[in-house]
Amino acid sequence: MATVKVHPKYSAAITFQEITQTRTHPACFMPYTFAESQKLFIRAARSIAGGVNSGIRKLELPVPVYFTHGRGARLWDVDGNEYIDYQLGQGALLYGHAPAGLAAALGEQARRGTHWAAQSLLEIEVAERIQKLIPSAELVRFNNSATEVVGAALRLARAHTGRPLILKFEGHYHGWGDEGLVGFAPPADRWGPDDTPSQLHPSQGIIPEVPTKFVVARWNDPAHLRQRVKQYSGQIAAIIFEPVLCNTSCIAPCASLLETIRDLCDQESMLMIADETITGFRFGGAGAQGYLGFSSDLTILGKAVGGGTPFAALAGKARFMEKIIKGEIVHAGTLNGNPLCLAASKWSLDYVLEHMKEHPGRINKLGQSLMRSLEDCARRHHIPLHPQGPGLVFHTTMLKPGAPPGPINDYRDYVRRHDAPRWAHLRRYLLEEGVRAIERGLWFVSMAHTDQDLAETLPRMERAFALHAQTWQAPA
Ligand SMILES: Cc1ncc(COP(=O)(O)O)c(C=O)c1O
């Protein structure tokens, strides 16, 4: 069989032969192939830089998959493969794929107009629903991505306090802008001492001074956090954080961490900025702040707030929004408050409001059941897989040989114990059996997932784990 290169740069990693070969393991009754996705990826690389529109999508093995349609918890690709989807548009699809009511709301709005760059009743209706759901959301402003909202929140915090620095935690992701990426995923040999983590940035081409305007702290160490704030007392405008560290191993805050952040912000007149891009509405109507019981000054909302459309919101206490009200900081955007996104958001928030009784309990239960099944299956096949998280979102860490079991506590702990190549190997088999988790090991459950979806996941998981256990060879 001929070997066709994906792209000169990546040909060493992926061959056509590798993708189309039929597996012969008896446990595998229906191997997935990706020939059509492969063809499209080759074609895409001729017109789209790198063949994908977000760098992380290149991580998908054996090839970035091209999808045709989705419904509920299921997703289909151009090769006709059907997936039970736990990637869910990187968590944005809290309501599952293509819910009928959302499609109708979008269709109706599209017939009235797709864009006005002006006011509409819809934007008030969406703002009022956010106010109703999240107690700290006294006022809101809209954007089209959480990355933009992070920029707005940090600008607001610096303007409000007149201070230059922002404190953020190692391994927390706040979008792909210059500021949001400081201290995200630093390599172990450069992450600096435990008590003074370095302000590393994973991207070239940023404004060189940006990292110097950040103080980086380790997650889940209140004493260390107090020390970091003391060191820069009077210079820090805000502490920004993911309330549950979903972007690294799904790590919940330890006892007293959120109280410590709140106390420090009050004592030092800093703003507490909760980045609820993932947790907002997923962790219930009031997001992680309702689920965990805290009150932030500013909140970043993305993903679920737009039901899968490019929509995000800055929400906050009225006194901290003053600089926007007065026009003293610039907050703008041609597509802010776009009526299509607003129609989707209104439908999404109404859906949350209608399901307040069982949400998030129902998806937490489903997720916890899936976590237990993954753990049991891993044990049967002697695979050191460690699921961690509340359930409605969780992460599977693949422990390195000899790494101790037990909860992952922070970013450094995760890097020390996670066997990324081995997880990528298992994840690929899961994909080839029609179970789709996020490349980095994150799993989301939607409100559209059913017991039946979970039941059908189990035999697929069993086959994937068996194949992984049979074929995995640690690099020499
Ligand atoms: C916690 C968090 N903040 C911000 C962002 C950036 O969101 P967006 O991709 O909409 O810009 C993400 C994206 O995954 C996120 O997880």
pLDDT (average), residues 120-144: 98
276 ligand 1 Cβ < 6 A: no
pLDDT (average), residues 214-221: 98
Amino acid at 233: S
Expressed in angstroms and rounded, the spacing between residue 344 Cα and the centre of ligand 1 is 19
pLDDT of 28 over the 70 cut: no
pLDDT of residue 30: 56
Boundaries of every domain in the chain: 16-97+360-471, 100-354
pLDDT of 23 over the 50 cut: no
pLDDT of 426-436, one tens digit each? 999 999 999 99
pLDDT (average), residues 199-222: 96
Whether the domain at 16-97+360-471 and the domain at 100-354 fall into the same CATH topology:
no
| Model confidence band, residue 255 (pLDDT cutoffs 50, 70, 90) | very high
145 ligand 1 Cβ < 6 A: yes
Q: In this prediction, what percent of the chain has a pLDDT beyond 90?
A: 90
pLDDT of 292-310, one tens digit each? 999 999 999 999 999 999 9
pLDDT (average), residues 69-82: 97
Expressed in angstroms and rounded, the spacing between residue 357 Cα and the centre of ligand 1 is 27
Out of 1.10.357.10, 3.30.1650.10, 3.40.5.90, 3.90.1150.10, select the CATH number for domain 16-97+360-471.
3.90.1150.10
pLDDT of residue 293: 98
Q: Which atom of ligand 1 is nearest to the CA of 247?
A: 16
277 ligand 1 Cβ < 6 A: yes
438 ligand 1 Cβ < 6 A: no
Expressed in angstroms and rounded, the spacing between residue 19 Cα and the centre of ligand 1 is 31
pLDDT of 448-463, one tens digit each? 999 999 999 999 999 9
| Lowest-pLDDT range of 182-186, 394-398, 444-448, 456-460 | 182-186
Expressed in angstroms and rounded, the spacing between residue 303 Cα and the centre of ligand 1 is 8
| Lowest-pLDDT range of 29-33, 122-126, 279-283 | 29-33
pLDDT of residue 401: 95
Q: Which atom of ligand 1 is nearest to the CA of 303?
A: 10
| Model confidence band, residue 476 (pLDDT cutoffs 50, 70, 90) | confident
Expressed in angstroms and rounded, the spacing between residue 167 Cα and the centre of ligand 1 is 18
pLDDT of 225-246, one tens digit each? 999 999 999 999 999 999 999 9
Q: Which atom of ligand 1 is nearest to the CA of 242?
A: 1
pLDDT (average), residues 12-24: 41
Out of 3.30.56.10, 3.40.640.10, 1.10.357.10, 3.30.390.50, select the CATH number for domain 100-354.
3.40.640.10
pLDDT (average), residues 65-72: 97
pLDDT of residue 250: 98
Expressed in angstroms and rounded, the spacing between residue 285 Cα and the centre of ligand 1 is 19
Angle between helices 222-231 and 257-268 (to 10 degrees): 20
pLDDT of 7 over the 50 cut: no
Mean of pLDDT over the chain: 93
Mutate to test the pocket of ligand 1, among 219, 303, 395 (most ligand atoms within 8 A of CB): 303
| Model confidence band, residue 259 (pLDDT cutoffs 50, 70, 90) | very high
pLDDT of residue 2: 32
